[in-house]
Structure 1
Amino acid sequence: MGGTAFSTGYNGSAILRTPRMPPEIYAYLKQKYCKRLKECFEHVDCPQEAPGKLDYGDIDVVVSSPLSSVMDYAGLATVLPVPNPSVQEYWQDKHQEANYAVRWPLFRGFYYSTKQALRHLFQGSVRQAWRNILLAFERPWAQIDVTISEPEQFAWRVFQKSHGDALPILGAGTKGSGLTQGPSGLLLRIEEIERRAQNECKILLSTSPEDAMDFLGLNRGRYAQGFTREDEIFAWVASSRFFDRSMFATAETPRKRNRRGMFLRFVDEWLPANPSAGRAGTMTRSEICEAALDHFDKRAEFDARLSFWQCKFREDDLWTAIDAFLRQPRAVEHLSDARRNETIRALKRFVKFQGISPVVRQAAEMNESQQSRWSDVIDQNDLAAMQKMLQWVDANWEMIRLKERDRVRGRGA
């Protein structure tokens, strides 16, 4: 959140003042509250910050394996006291992360603010000095962001949040490979599913940062050594064998322009200064997919997922064709949306197949998993079979719709 979760309320009014923290305040609060959290969770760690920071917007902490059944995001308010009920709205957001606010330490904060005020006075900046004097007596708040992770994802969540925008940059540079670094681990997007089912197209390859780095061609020894400069992170990220600098050709789009400074420095400064970096190899997305399935032993899961969704797409396409047919003008009446939907439900519930011939059931089949899958019998690419099926629907739809209406009214099966 960059330390801004409590800066404005939903009505636009200020809630809490959370100025950026100097290193000494950041280090003190991180040590103090990590120690408290270790009394509540088996695993507690702080992701590595990006190098060269002069101040900090918030403190990120990842925890897992609670030692008490009540230690959830709400229970953490007893360890990281929430200042007033209004900020409880921030307890958990869509990223499965909660924001808490704690006070700056009294004496350290007063010492820091007074020292800064004197420095500004000697530099002739009276306004800034006055602000620091007020800060010394105000005792501002610091934002702590906590992620409660599943134990098997703990190492990955720490890895994902480390070194600022390192992983978002890696993700943007490897997007064309079909690989994604999600909150749960390294993911593979199935190309044949992605366009029509974005949320279901991903297979989890690994939650191990080490395994992911090995496959991506990133030197994990260099990562373990740590980075002292931002350009070292950039060089490490761009060394991935799947990193493609051309993915940043559209970096002028508003969405990417709204990214944080580290991301923009990579795009605007580092990439132009290093024209040979980040030029991906000759592997196609399909070849990368095959390599990932072999490396992580995910072929069986991939085949099952792909088969399921291809069958579902065929079935959806067939019913789309039937729906379009029922929308056509008719001599007797034009089907309203409600009647058309009722007809489609009836066809699914009351029709089964004997061989390749549709027959009407005596009783409705309400279990969707037991209903006949029409696409198993009818190939949409077979124009003659499709025409024959639509002719049968045209001859029987009204009778079948009435059976569904009788069922709903309690007069039928």
Structure 2
Amino acid sequence: MGGNAFHFLDEDAFPRLPPAVYQRLKSRLFSVIQTLYSHVTVPIEAPEKNEYGDLDFLVFSPKPEAFSSTAERSINVPHEVVKEAIGAHHFIPADGNRTSNFAVPISRGEWSTLGFEREELEVRKKVKDDGEIYYQVDVHVCADKKEWDRIYFYNSYGDLGMIMGLIASNAGLQLGSKGLHYSYPPHPRLLLSDDFDKITRFFGWSMETRNAGFKTRKEIFEWVMTSRFFDPARFRTQGDGIRKVKAQRTMYSDFVECANNLQRASPSPTSERRESTGTTTSARDEALEYFGKKQEVETQICEYGARKRMKDVFNGNTVRSWMLASNWKDVKDTMDSVRARYGGDEGVMKLLEAEGEEVLQKRVLEAFEKLKMEDSTPISISNDTFAFRSEPITISEVVLQ
């Protein structure tokens, strides 16, 4: 999950790991990490994988004994403690529920007991200077058990989570390790669900089949394609809502090629088939219904439209044209007066929705006239007679009584 994190070391210092080497490393470090965290796991590896880049641990709930004092306890064990425990020479720390990277040295001759002495020597020859090579070990600290379960699900079986995300994108939704989201700009993305059991049921994927395990990539691809939202004739791998994926994601690339081959072999959908297989719009609507978010979205869209209409109508330029005023201060004061009377912008918005633009204009002009009356200044022109004027007066105009 951390990629090639140690850019300050030789790029050849982190060799690809044969499966036997990877499994021994995982077995050796798993028990060590368990002395530091109460919950430790490694995502299920992709089937048919002939080499590995790094080793990923998912953890949460640090053990009290991993801290030297109560005062320093936090969501993650101190990085120096983890470094020493697993024997790392270098690390890139990340506090909180994030991924920290550790470079664990590979002892000379370590691979020879597994029959990979020649491969180890060849790797060391590529590295400049001392020929030191490392395992990259990534430790992702989760905030709680729920997040731990989600990330484990999404990152198991290699690129499967990303492939599922591609199917979701084709349906106009977004699927990631945090769950299923619904985008409808300019509003923030809406979380439909972070429960992968519910999410897989919605897409039509059998959790029973998934939990039984996959032995080949072909089995994974066939499982993904059981989704009721997978349609080869409509399948796309780029465009709105689909992010680019690095070329080294070979499992993802193989699925795309497989889906594209099916697409080329599939006839163009007839109008009747288009209706039966559904559209992106209908899939999005169905998702709102399924996850109980339809009313929330409709309310937000309605409120946004009403607010936009209010801003289009109740703004300085429009109000100024109603008042036939040249003084921007009068415009501001009048608008503030209307807001104060009707309960702010929300109240003005409701007035506009209920009564219409003509009534709002009338209320603006009434407020303007009232302010003019309140701002009028008495000026003495005789002992018992006064005139009123709305313009500011000067000291010389004031008659002392």
Gap change, CA 1:109 and 1:399, over 3 Å in 2: farther
Moved more, 96-105 or 130-139: 130-139
Structure 2 partner of 1:218 = 205
1:231-250 to structure 2, matched below 5 A, reads: 231-245=218-232, 246-248=234-236, 250=238
User: When the two structures are aligned, how many residues end up with a matched partner?
Assistant: 353
- 2:283 is aligned with 1:282: no
Structure 1 partner of 2:36 = 40
- Aligned-partner Cα distance in 2 for 1:288–1:306: 16
Structure 2 partner of 1:411 = none
- 2:182 is aligned with 1:196: no
Partner-residue secondary structure (3-state), 1:142: strand
Q: Please report how far the alpha carbon of residue 171 of structure 1 lies from its aligned counterpart in structure 2 after TM superposition.
A: 1.7
- 2:174 is aligned with 1:173: no
- 2:326 is aligned with 1:332: yes
Structure 2 partner of 1:5 = 5
Moved more, 279-288 or 177-186: 279-288
Q: What is the identity percentage for the equivalent residue pairs of Structure 1 and Structure 2?
A: 20
- Aligned-partner Cα distance in 2 for 1:204–1:132: 49
- Aligned-partner Cα distance in 2 for 1:394–1:14: 74
TM-score (structure 2 length as normaliser): 0.69
Gap change, CA 1:327 and 1:266, over 3 Å in 2: farther
Structure 1 partner of 2:256 = 267
- Aligned-partner Cα distance in 2 for 1:288–1:130: 53
- Aligned-partner Cα distance in 2 for 1:399–1:230: 81
Gap change, CA 1:393 and 1:143, over 3 Å in 2: farther
- Aligned-partner Cα distance in 2 for 1:80–1:382: 68
Q: Please report how far the alpha carbon of residue 389 of structure 1 lies from its aligned counterpart in structure 2 after TM superposition.
A: 5.5
1:175 corresponds to which letter in structure 2? Answer: S
Partner-residue secondary structure (3-state), 1:241: coil
Structure 1 partner of 2:153 = 159
Q: Please report how far the alpha carbon of residue 238 of structure 1 lies from its aligned counterpart in structure 2 after TM superposition.
A: 1.6
Structure 2 partner of 1:97 = 98
Partner-residue secondary structure (3-state), 2:352: coil
Gap change, CA 1:316 and 1:34, over 3 Å in 2: farther
Structure 1 partner of 2:45 = 49
- 2:306 is aligned with 1:314: yes
How big is the alpha-carbon RMSD for the aligned residues of Structure 1 and Structure 2? 4.5
Partner-residue secondary structure (3-state), 1:21: coil
Partner-residue secondary structure (3-state), 1:106: coil
Partner-residue secondary structure (3-state), 1:203: strand
- Aligned-partner Cα distance in 1 for 2:373–2:223: 67
Deviations 1:115-160 (A, max 9, x none): 453799xxxxxxx577269799514242314141422233222111
Gap change, CA 1:33 and 1:149, over 3 Å in 2: farther
- Aligned-partner Cα distance in 2 for 1:21–1:108: 14
2:158 corresponds to which letter in structure 1? Answer: G
Gap change, CA 1:247 and 1:35, over 3 Å in 2: same
Structure 1 partner of 2:193 = 205
Partner-residue secondary structure (3-state), 2:38: strand
Structure having the higher Rg: 2
Task: Give the conservation status (yes or no) of the 8 Å contact 2:105–2:133.
Answer: yes
Gap change, CA 1:147 and 1:34, over 3 Å in 2: same
- Aligned-partner Cα distance in 2 for 1:119–1:320: 69
2:299 corresponds to which letter in structure 1? Answer: S
The match for 1:146 among 125, 132, 140 is 140
Deviations 1:214-270 (A, max 9, x none): 222112222122222222211211211122442415379995364533222222344
1:138 corresponds to which letter in structure 2? Answer: E
2:31 corresponds to which letter in structure 1? Answer: K
Q: Please report how far the alpha carbon of residue 49 of structure 1 lies from its aligned counterpart in structure 2 after TM superposition.
A: 1.7
- Aligned-partner Cα distance in 2 for 1:132–1:102: 18
Give the unaligned 5+ runs of structure 1.
121-127, 359-364, 401-413
- 2:180 is aligned with 1:186: yes
Task: Give the conservation status (yes or no) of the 8 Å contact 1:177–1:285.
Answer: yes
Give the unaligned 5+ runs of structure 2.
65-69, 375-401
- Aligned-partner Cα distance in 2 for 1:75–1:349: 58
